[in-house]
Amino acid sequence: MDDLHRIHYVTGHYAHLQGLRLLPLSVPFLLAAVERMAGAPFVPTGVWAVIVVASLAAPSPIGRYYARRFGQARAPRWRSGMLTLFAACAAFLWFEWLQETLSPSVSLPLLFIAVLLARLGLAAGRLRSHYLWIAAAVAVFAVQPSAGVASGVRPVVGNLLIGGGLAIAAIGDDRVLRRALASRPQDSMRAA
């Protein structure tokens, strides 16, 4: 029964499990962290523009690779994730307003993101448990006091957290998808 639940989860979230589509998005953040650690910008502005455009355009051909390799599975309209995205954005903005109003020593918006990531990591019997590690890192970053930290350190850690989190999510989701589909005879969504 557990295997059936996982197959149902994978087919219902197939588009979200195409992890390699996230990998190019990590590049600008990791490069920004390296540049900040170097202490001086070494990537020209024009090259930054190309990197950002390429990282935003790259997921499309990667999606076509997944379609050729594994086939396609359309999620039901009600499971597109748009409602969740809008609700999460609204809640994030509310937590940001609360942060500005109350000025707590911890970052409420980041703690909210950590909770969302942990929930994702616990879904479907911890199928995507790599999100628990990302959630833990975000939570530590959220409660880390900014006082006493050198002014340049927090942005570096933030860029590393975003870039590294995207890379971990990308590789982890891709592995989940490949493992779920590789256990099937034809190694495709059609078999699942």
* pLDDT tens for each residue of 62-91: 999 999 998 888 777 776 778 888 999 999
- Report, as an integer, the average pLDDT of 32-51: 93
- The tokens describing 145, both together, are 């006091």
- Report, as an integer, the average pLDDT of 135-146: 90
By the 10 Å C-beta count (0-12 exposed, 13-18 middle, 19+ buried), 41 is classed as exposed
Q: How confident is the model at residue 147 (pLDDT cuts 50, 70, 90)?
A: low
Q: Which residues contact 3 (CB under 8 A, 6 or more apart)?
A: none
Integer Cα distance of 18 and 61 in angstroms: 12
CA neighbor of 19 nearest in space, from 180, 183, 152: 180
Global pTM exceeds 0.85: yes
